[in-house]
Structures are given as C-alpha cells and as structure tokens.
Amino acid sequence: MAKKNKLREILSWFIVVVTGVLAGLIIQNFVIVNATVISGSMLDTVEVGSRVVAFRWSYLFNEPQRGDVIVFRFHMDESLDYVKRVIGLPGETVQIVDGRVYINGEVLLEEYVRTGAWPRNRNFGPHTVPDGRFFVLGDYRDISEDSRSWGYGAYIIRPGDAKPSWTMRSQLPHSTPTEFNVEYAFVCKNLILGRVIFSYWPRIRAIR
C-alpha cells in the first residue's frame, strides 16, 4: 500500500513538472518574447544587458505604431533579435537632417532620444517607407546602427563566398561606391516578434 502511495506521489510530481515545462514552452513560443539587449543603442530607455519581455500578440490585429519599442529578427542575420523604436510607418516619407527626424516634411518631437559628446548626425533620405515595412531607430542615435545605416552600402564578395552579399557602408573602405537598398533599410512586419512591455533585469521597469 505504501509503495502504491509512493508511486502515485512520484507520478503526481512528474505531471506537475511536465505541465509546467509545457506551459512555459507555450508561453515562450506563442505569447511572449524574452530578449537580452547586448548593446547601448537604446539607452537610456533600455540599459545594456537588460532582459526584456515583448508581447507576441501586440500586432495580431493591429499595426505597429510610431514610438513602439519592438523586438524583431534582424533581416541581415535572422539568428539575431534586435530591439529598436518604430519611427516611420508604411507610406510615410522619412528624412533626417543634422540629427532631426522629419516625417512627411514635419519635424518629429522625440523626448526619448539620448545624445552623447560626439554626435553622429547621419543624414538620411528623403525615402518613402514601403508597404509592410517600418523605419526603426535606436534611442541613443550617436552609437546606434539602424535604418539610417543598414540601407546604405554595396554588394561585395567576401573571402570564401561564391556570390556578393550586402555590406553596410560603415563596414566598407571609404573609397567604395555605395547605393541605397530599400530591402535592407526597412524592417518587414513579418520579422517583428512583438512590442516590448517591460524589462525584468537588472531591474523591473515599464518600457515606453
């Protein structure tokens, strides 16, 4: 009798553990995104090393909105997840002049932007955001690699490669002719994993 009770107890604990693991996997893969921010491109909104949670269903019935902080698969290497802020929406014309962002010719007021001691006021555009794509920037504009830089570059053949691959301007010799590539400048909606809601490490805080 005691042996049967022991087996029931072990089975009960086994069911609890398996149920917990399955629930965790379902939540992780279908409800939330757990991402670690390894760069300072979103300072001061998101600290370096922060672990953030994004809600996968945010854009199930809605489109990303300007100002949303999102997690997305980096279109130049989909094994990487990036965190940036949505700035330009489909159909809008985006231009950056001396660090100021213009949407359809009107300056965008941005209270979240951090500037450093050595500003890199990279100009951009004007370019129109294609349907189904978004223009994204990091909040720490001086150090962030984002839609401003991804789209300017050239196709080059790297050592060991059989065909040319897109390389950003910042990674090319200064004398290399460059072009603008819509495919790489803007983030496709189908690569967006969710809207960031909060960080839970190193401290709990809402992300806006």
Please report which confidence band the pLDDT of residue 159 belongs to, taking 50, 70 and 90 as the band edges: confident
Q: Which amino acid is at 125?
A: G
Mean pLDDT of the chain: 85
Tell me what pLDDT residue 16 has. 47
Which residue in the block uniquely carries the two structure tokens 């990036």? Answer: 82
Q: Which residues pair with 128 in a beta bridge?
A: 93
Q: What angle (nearest 5°) sits at the alpha carbon of residue 196, between those of residues 192 and 198?
A: 165
Query: Residue 48's pLDDT is what?
Result: 94
CA pair distance 204, 196, nearest whole angstrom? 13
Q: Is the pLDDT score of 22 beyond 50? A: no
Q: Respond yes or no: is residue 84 known to be catalytic.
A: yes
First to last CA, the chain: 59
Q: Of 84, 147, 149, 199, which residue is the catalytic one? A: 84
β-sheet bridge partners, residue 86: 136
Judge whether residue 23 has pLDDT over 50.
no
In whole angstroms, give the CA distance from residue 193 to residue 147.
17
Q: What is the mean pLDDT of residues 101-123?
A: 81
Q: How far is 53 from 198, CA to CA, in rounded Å?
A: 6
Helix (H) or strand (E) holding 87: strand 81-88
Amino acid at residue number 1:
M
As a whole number of angstroms, the distance between CA 67 and CA 208 comes to 8
Which pLDDT tens digit goes with each residue over 24-44? 444 444 447 899 999 999 999
CB 29 within 8 A of CB 22: no
From 67, 109, 81, select the one nearest 208 (Cα to Cα).
Answer: 67
d(CA 66, CA 128): 15
Of the listed 41, 58, 147, 149, which one is catalytic?
41
* pLDDT greater than 80 at residue 17: no
pTM for the full predicted model? 0.84
Query: Between the CA of residue 160 and those of 63, 77, 154, 157, what are the distances in Å?
Result: 41, 18, 18, 8
- Report the CATH fold assignment for 33-206: Umud Fragment, subunit A (2.10.109)
| DSSP conformational letter for 98 | T
